[in-house]
Amino acid sequence: MRMVTGLSVLVLGAGGIGHAVVTDLETGIDRVDPFKDMKNRPRAGNGTNLLLVGTDGRDRITPEERKLYRLGGAPCHCTDTIMLVHLSADKERASVVSLPRDSYAEIPAHRDRTTGEQHTAHPVKLNAAYAEGGPGLTVRTVEHMTGVKIDHYLEVDFTSFMKTVDTLGGVKICTTRPMKDPYTGLDLAAGTHELNGGQALQYVRSRHIDGAADLGRMQRQQKFLASLIERATGSGVLLNPVKFRDVASTMLSSVRADKDFGTEQMLELGQAMRGFSPASSEFASVPMGNVSYPVKGIGSTVKWDEQKSEKLFRALREDEPLAPKRPARPKAVEVDVDPQRIRVQVYNGTAREGLGRKVDDALHATGFDTTRTPLNAPPTAPGTPPTAQGTAPDTPNAAPGDLKRTLITYDPRWDRSAKSLAEALPGAELRAVAGQGATLRVTAGADFEKVRKVRAEETDRGEFDTVTGDEVACP
């Protein structure tokens, strides 16, 4: 969730801000030394690896914010979010890997930072490493689990998260279905929303929206970060020295970072942002094996898939991209139902010869399961749903109607499919027809121009469940 810290790494220095200004901003960072006395560390690879840690810092939230955003209860002094970020050696790609906080982990022997008691190596949930041994033990545990050497450590809490989002003017989030979580107070209708800092915090913290729990939560965090990058790179913040300073100082006001993350590192990493865009970032989650792995005294944990996760972390060590190579494609609107699962019969409702074929081809190219046999609609009163009495595909001797507006008719039982199809045909009229069955009908009207590209939320994310930022940010 506190992936805002990662953005601060990427934007610092990118706006052409001078060395002296960045040095001044650096003085506001709280320093920590997580690498002290560490031995037997993984071998360094190409590129730069940062561990981003978001802590449960609700003790710094105002009473009003606690009530409004449902942040009651005592802070757990543990990590609420853990992300491993790899910035490629050529500074052209940022790979962000979410590490589930409930991951099964075996932490090394250490001394408890609160009691001073010496502990032998033992199993825990990953987020407990911070509670027992702070940043140092967290870094040691992640390095042990991933084999990736951590170059820098960054930590931030609830307060800086909300302030950063507000300073940027909010973020745009798109959702294909209503989202409601009684625990965080999140309540979003389907559609596009501009979220302020507190609302964004609700969005990335919610775990009770559906059965996906932490997996769905991590995907929302990734979508949020992609939108935040798009807002930062597309709003002119980086080109406005005054605005840039406000954003950067807000980001760094409550950040904890390792003592070697200084001015030179900020400027060097910030240069990567000059040509950065959401497409430059990629987001993945650790491949999971058993999502309910029981551990005595701990409860249910998430066990990683050993072979697949090792392959993912090897790719990071070798500075390789995680997202599969895909051909360039137009940006698509996200829909609730995969177009491949939506059966469509196309009709031509006008005198335009070949229109039915044109619409069928366009829908099929977008992914819809069209019949590939478009029909001419029989003569009907305007707006009357077509029937199966249509003639052969676009034959010139047919007597089509004169439909002004494209019409989608559907059985109410397939309303989600109908709404997804309507996204591909902006301006089309939706009309429920009881008993029509699973096949949706599209009667092309005189207003038809083109089909808009759409894709489903559950679109395949490749071997490592990876997407690029432009695929998950709002269109």
pLDDT band at 443 (very low <50, low <70, confident <90, very high): very high
DSSP tag of 148: P
Q: Which residue has the higher pLDDT, 377 or 15?
A: 377
- Least confident residue range of 109-123, 168-182, 209-223: 209-223
Residues 262 and 348 occupy one common structural domain? no
User: Helix H segments across 374-413?
Assistant: none
Query: Which amino acid is residue 70, in one-letter code?
Result: R
Q: Is the pLDDT of residue 195 over 80?
A: yes
User: Is 82 part of any domain?
Assistant: yes
Interacting residues of 119 by C-beta distance below 8 A, sequence separation 6+:
109, 110, 111, 112, 132
Among residues 94, 73, 10, the alpha carbon closest in space to that of 470 is found at 94
The model's confidence at residue 210, banded by pLDDT at 50, 70 and 90, is low
73 and 203, same structural domain? yes
- Closest among 316, 331, 291, 320 to 470, alpha carbons compared: 331
Instruction: Place 392 in a pLDDT band, splitting at 50, 70 and 90.
Output: very low
Residue 295 covered by a domain: yes
Residue 402 has what pLDDT? 78
Q: Are residues 243 and 106 in the same domain?
A: yes
Give the residue with greater pLDDT, 435 vs 210.
Answer: 435
Q: Is residue 371 part of a domain?
A: yes
pLDDT band, very low/low/confident/very high, at 447 (cuts 50, 70, 90): very high
Mean pLDDT in residue range 418-439: 93
Domain with residue 267: its CATH number is 3.40.630.190
- Considering the domain architecture, whether residues 16 and 121 belong to the same structural domain is answered as yes
Same domain flag for 356 and 269:
no
- At residue 54, what are phi and psi to the nearest 5 degrees? -105, 125
By the 8 A CB rule, do 158 and 61 touch?
yes
Q: Is the pLDDT of residue 473 over 70?
A: no
Q: Which residues contact 342 (CB under 8 A, 6 or more apart)?
A: 368, 369, 417, 420, 421, 440
Q: Are 183 and 268 found together in one domain?
A: yes
Tens of pLDDT, residues 266-285 = 656 655 555 566 677 888 88
- Among the listed residues 377, 256, 325, 362, the one whose alpha carbon sits nearest the alpha carbon of residue 5: 256
Tell me the mean pLDDT in the region 251-268. Answer: 70
341 or 25, higher pLDDT = 341
Share of the chain above pLDDT 70, in %: 70
Decide if pLDDT at 239 tops 70: no
* Whether 227 contacts 101, CB under 8 Å: no
Distance CA 200, CA 196 (A): 6
Alpha helices in 209-252 (DSSP H): 213-234, 241-252
What residue type is assigned to position 168 of the chain?
A: L
Residue 337 has pLDDT above 60, yes or no: yes
176 DSSP assignment: S
Residue 389 has a pLDDT of: 38
Report pLDDT digits (tens) over 96-146: 898 988 999 998 888 777 777 888 889 999 988 988 888 999 999 999 999
Per the CB < 8 A criterion, the answer to whether 416 and 336 are in contact is yes
Owner of token pair 């429920």? 432
Asked if pLDDT for residue 161 goes beyond 60, the answer is: yes
Residue 115, both tokens: 């009691």
- The verdict on 174 and 291 lying in the same domain is yes
* 190 and 319, same domain (yes or no): yes
Residue 182 lies in a domain: yes
368 and 271 belong to one structural domain: no
Q: What is the DSSP string of 430-457?
A: EEE-TT--S-EEEEE-TT---PPPEEET
Query: What are the distances in angstroms from CA 437 to CA 162, 342, 359?
Result: 47, 12, 21
**Mean pLDDT calculated for residue range 213-220:** 73
Interatomic CA distance for residues 351 and 213, integer angstroms: 51
| pLDDT tens profile 342-367 | 999 999 988 888 999 999 999 998 88
Domain hosting residue 349, numbered range = 337-456
Other Cβ atoms within 10 Å of 61 Cβ, number: 21
Residue 475 lies in a domain: no
Q: How many domains does the chain have?
A: 2
| H or E, element range at 201 | helix 197-205
- In this structure, which amino acid lies at residue 136? G
Per-residue pLDDT at 119: 83
Residues 6+ away with beta carbon under 8 Å from 224: 3, 171, 173, 200, 203, 204
Same-domain status, 53 and 184: yes
